[in-house]
Structure 1
Amino acid sequence: MRFAVFHLIMALWVLWRFVLPLRMAKGAKWALALVVIAVSLFSTVTTLFFGGLLSPELPRAVLIAGNFGEAVLLFLTVFTLLREVVIFFSVLAGRSGEKIHRAVQQDRRTAIGLGALSVGFAAFGIKKGIEVPEVRYHTAKIQDLPPELEGFEFVQLSDTHCSALLTEPHAEALVERVNSLHPRLILMTGDFVDGAVERREKDIAPFAKLKAEYGVWGCDGNHEHYGDYPRWEKKFAQLGIRVLRNEHAVLEVEGNDGKPARLCLGGVCDPMAARFGRELPDVRKTFAGAPDPKAVPRILMAHQPKMFPRYRANEEFALQLSGHTHGGQIIGMDRAVAIMNGTYVRGFYRSPEGTLLYVHPGSGLWNGFPIRVGVPSEIAVIRLERRRA
């Protein structure tokens, strides 16, 4: 419902401030108005008739076209709002601003320019949104990291969102790129898939080919809870992904110079579990019985970053890995996303006592808003290093 209202508001604004002032034939203006209304109804129609907002079951080309139209509407709304600022100041300028006022509101060249900009940004945003993520390297500086773990690397994936938009070929390409890194460990921080098992099992099947010396591990995300979670839990296990739900595992790894080392992985349930009467996140339960964190570093997988202060207040760990925000997806919009997620949106954050958080910008995105501008998706390679004063 919120998305329907949001798109309706954008459509009404564009009709009022962009279409209505245009100097063009009435027939053409009516046709353009109908296009704006049709685009604004795309999400509503998919929600009511094609499987719901979270996982619309439509051909990929239709989803791309519909989302492209919505992206054009979004950017046209933004650009016309910016134009209003220019109009406001031109009105304040009085007679000296009349020429600028007419140029920015009624001149055909201005309208064509705004339309072209909106189409260009939308095309770029959709292209970047659905492409296979690039590999990006990061260094996590950990306090009191045992010397034998210095330089240990692992891959983090998050928010892969296998769907009718990000289908089997996309998953195949993602897996191929990850495996080319020969990762020692793969950690997946939730939102693996959108849709029912029978709809998505082919699209997520390539994940069974993920290979890592110390396995593929994960935690659930909020989107897992929107579908048939018990069935997906079994499917993840069949794919070789060990999902930790308020539990931990201690890995015996080979460290520097072949020396044995240990690493403790924990995973908490997602807070969305509360809506469905499932087990809530419990970081104390997660690390109950785990080795001393000063001797065996702990990595916590928790899909939503906003819980970071609460988790570190209740349990000791060195590094939290999260996702969920998709990095904000669009420069500028990421500030609003940060506010909704406890100020965490992407990259590293460190608490006063030294605990580290990495918020992954996503290895995919939800097919209801597949736009990225200035915030690329990624396959994160994270290297552990000792933090020195």
Structure 2
Amino acid sequence: MKRKINLLPFLIIAVLFFLINSYVLSGIHSLSSNPFITPVFWISIAVITGSLFYAIQRMRNKEMDTFFKIATHAFLILIAAELVFTLILLPNDLYRLAADVPRNIYWVEFAWFVFFLTIGAFIYGMIFGKYAYRVIRHTLYFDDLPENFDGFTITQISDVHAGSFQNAKAVQKGIDLIKKQHSDLFVFTGDLVNNKAEEIKPWIGHFSQIKSTYGQFSVLGNHDYGDYVKWESEAAKRTNLEQLKKYHDEIGFRLLLDEHVEINKNGQKIILAGVENWGIGFGERGDLKKALTNVAGSDFKILLSHDPTHWEAEVTKFPSKIHLTLAGHTHGMQFGIEAFGIKWSPVKYRYAHWAGVTGNDGLYLNINRGFGFLGFSGRIGIWPEITVIELKRTPK
């Protein structure tokens, strides 16, 4: 017996889509009465929407191809620009209706200016923004940091998503920026690939250039397990994961799988632990207790855990203090505003804290905004990040 499909949500979306486009069209008519505008507008909308549905249909049981990417990005840019246009013009129109005055043409022109500005921002983000690497620095103070680690530096990147890369020269610029930091320790906090181990193979030569005095360490992210593609068998899926682990080794990353290592410096140590992916809604594989087996409660601990939801759910409640947790996963949604004192991204409605450092009293979480990109082939306002954290003893 076939399951009955509820068409109501699709109908509501279709009606809203029609109303938004009709409203945008009214904005065009405010500036021009050319009779060809209406048919050209609706034909354009039909072509973009039709391409999206066709791309989705032909994508079933296949991986994303160029046509799918073009169709989805064209639709995304259209919707984003139309929503911005509507948000700007609608308040003025509501006032106009209440006050019974004609539509303000200058306001319509401003709405169109922002419409095209939005399209320009998306194009910039797709061409340049996704490789616009930034170094973000944090200095964190701890009362119980071993003296010999005062001033110790850690470079962190996360969410490489190698299957999305296309520009080797641009990626190399990011690698060079990592190398320029000359940090004591390098860590990678998961999602090396989108789905399959083979995606990292062309980039091994790039990431293997990363070296640090006290080593390079990594953990797995939710995408690394191959959960989001169809496999011919469970055995093939397991083989893919084992191959990815080998690629970590080829790159020179020591992959921490619910385990820890000691970082020793001049007779003193800190603990670096790493867990398999643990995230609310993204698989709770990691075993924190196992990762910290035989670690003394008084030891200074740094944890690599891909998903930041792990921090509040388990890390802050762990019997012994985990001083610093390094995570990624959110990407800052690759879209938002971080300027003029504003820090906003739609991802805040899923994660209360989605980028940078949070915490206090020597218990901190840092969320890296990601080195790569996924889904939307670009970044707008939330640039790819290389984090450098300096550990300092609290001044007496």
TM-score (normalised: structure 2): 0.79
Which residue of structure 2 aligns with residue 384 of structure 1? 391
- Taking a change above 3 Å as real, the CA distance of residues 188 and 12 of structure 1, as seen in their structure-2 partners, is farther
Deviations 1:256-307 (A, max 9, x none): xxx333121111111369877xx712211111112x243x311111111122
**8 Å CA contact retained: 1:57, 1:164:** no
Deviations 1:156-194 (A, max 9, x none): 001122124455434322222212222321101112222
Which residue of structure 1 aligns with residue 152 of structure 2? 152
Which residue of structure 2 aligns with residue 282 of structure 1? 287
What one-letter code is carried by the residue in structure 2 that aligns with 1:320?
T
Residue ranges of structure 2 left out of the alignment (5+ in a row): 1-8, 228-239
Identity, % of aligned positions: 20
Which residue of structure 2 aligns with residue 348 of structure 1? 357
**8 Å CA contact retained: 2:306, 2:329:** yes
Which residue of structure 2 aligns with residue 32 of structure 1? 41
Which residue of structure 1 aligns with residue 247 of structure 2? 235
**8 Å CA contact retained: 1:36, 1:73:** no
Distance 1:40 1:236 in 2: 41
Distance 1:165 1:51 in 2: 23
Distance 1:240 1:44 in 2: 43
- Taking a change above 3 Å as real, the CA distance of residues 38 and 190 of structure 1, as seen in their structure-2 partners, is farther
| Cα deviation, residue 244, structure 1 | 1.2
What one-letter code is carried by the residue in structure 1 that aligns with 2:330?
T
**8 Å CA contact retained: 1:334, 1:345:** no
Q: Does 1:298 align with 2:308?
A: no
**8 Å CA contact retained: 1:135, 1:379:** yes
Which residue of structure 1 aligns with residue 318 of structure 2? 314
Q: Does 1:330 align with 2:333?
A: no
Deviations 1:72-105 (A, max 9, x none): 531331231232122223323x23xx22x35378
TM-score (normalised: structure 1): 0.81
- Is the partner of 2:162 in helix, strand or coil? coil
| Cα deviation, residue 320, structure 1 | 0.5
Which residue of structure 1 aligns with residue 211 of structure 2? 211
What one-letter code is carried by the residue in structure 1 that aligns with 2:289?
R
- Is the partner of 1:56 in helix, strand or coil? coil
Which residue of structure 1 aligns with residue 136 of structure 2? 136
What one-letter code is carried by the residue in structure 2 that aligns with 1:265?
L
Deviations 1:19-74 (A, max 9, x none): 25532545443333333344456665555445879x62439xx9579636623531
Distance 2:159 2:196 in 1: 17
**8 Å CA contact retained: 1:305, 1:359:** yes
**8 Å CA contact retained: 2:260, 2:272:** yes
CA RMSD of aligned residues (A): 3.4
- Taking a change above 3 Å as real, the CA distance of residues 82 and 112 of structure 1, as seen in their structure-2 partners, is closer
**8 Å CA contact retained: 1:264, 1:298:** yes
Q: Please show how residues 1-389 of structure 1 align to structure 2 within 5 Å.
A: 11-23=17-29, 24-40=33-49, 47-49=56-58, 56-58=64-66, 63=69, 67=73, 70-92=76-98, 94-95=99-100, 98-99=101-102, 101=103, 103=105, 109-110=109-110, 112-127=112-127, 129-226=129-226, 228-253=240-265, 259-271=266-278, 280-290=285-295, 292-294=296-298, 296-309=299-312, 310-315=314-319, 316-328=321-333, 329-331=335-337, 334=344, 336-341=346-351, 343-351=352-360, 354-368=362-376, 370-373=378-381, 375-388=382-395
- Taking a change above 3 Å as real, the CA distance of residues 84 and 360 of structure 1, as seen in their structure-2 partners, is same
Which residue of structure 2 aligns with residue 256 of structure 1? none
**8 Å CA contact retained: 1:67, 1:368:** yes
| Cα deviation, residue 119, structure 1 | 2.1
**8 Å CA contact retained: 1:323, 1:361:** yes
Which residue of structure 1 aligns with residue 233 of structure 2? none
**8 Å CA contact retained: 2:279, 2:307:** no
- Taking a change above 3 Å as real, the CA distance of residues 199 and 244 of structure 1, as seen in their structure-2 partners, is closer
- Taking a change above 3 Å as real, the CA distance of residues 82 and 307 of structure 1, as seen in their structure-2 partners, is farther
**8 Å CA contact retained: 1:76, 1:118:** no
What one-letter code is carried by the residue in structure 2 that aligns with 1:251?
I
Residue ranges of structure 1 left out of the alignment (5+ in a row): 254-258
- Taking a change above 3 Å as real, the CA distance of residues 132 and 82 of structure 1, as seen in their structure-2 partners, is closer
| Cα deviation, residue 314, structure 1 | 2.0
**8 Å CA contact retained: 1:39, 1:70:** no
- Is the partner of 1:209 in helix, strand or coil? coil
